[in-house]
Amino acid sequence: MIESLKNEIEDLKHELLSVQVAKARSLISEEPSLKGSSSFAEELANCAEPGLKEKYETLEQTHEEVKKYLDKILTNVIERDPSLLMVNP
């Protein structure tokens, strides 16, 4: 009886963690609403500094690669030992 309750608690912890990770992913992937008359992309296009647009595009690409890498790490941790992601008070 106690062992089955422990197993059920552990399963619920895993499920909660999965829900939290899914929520975090959805928050990360949401596009913030643009405010004002011009977007950052328009401001960047009008910028006078040479090479700034290329630097920004490189930075944006690197950011996407890091997000994918972290997503893979989180997925592996969740599959192997989700207790590593638990926050203890």
Task: Dump pLDDT digits (tens) for 18-40.
Answer: 878 877 777 777 655 434 446 66
Q: Give the range of the structural domain holding residue 73, as residue numbers without chain letter.
A: 2-27+48-81
Does 54 reside within a domain?
A: yes
Does 32 reside within a domain?
A: no
The Cα 56–Cα 61 span in angstroms is 9
Res. 9: pLDDT tops 70 = yes
**Which ranges in 1-89 belong to alpha helices (H)?**
2-29, 40-45, 52-80
Number of domains within the chain: 1
- Report the share of the chain in percent with pLDDT over 70: 76
- The pTM of this model reads 0.44
Q: What is the mean pLDDT of the chain?
A: 78
Mean pLDDT confidence for 64-83 = 90
Mean pLDDT confidence for 4-20 = 81
Q: Which of the four pLDDT bands, split at 50, 70 and 90, describes residue 45? A: low
Does 34 reside within a domain?
A: no
Is residue 83 classed as helix, strand or coil in its secondary structure? helix
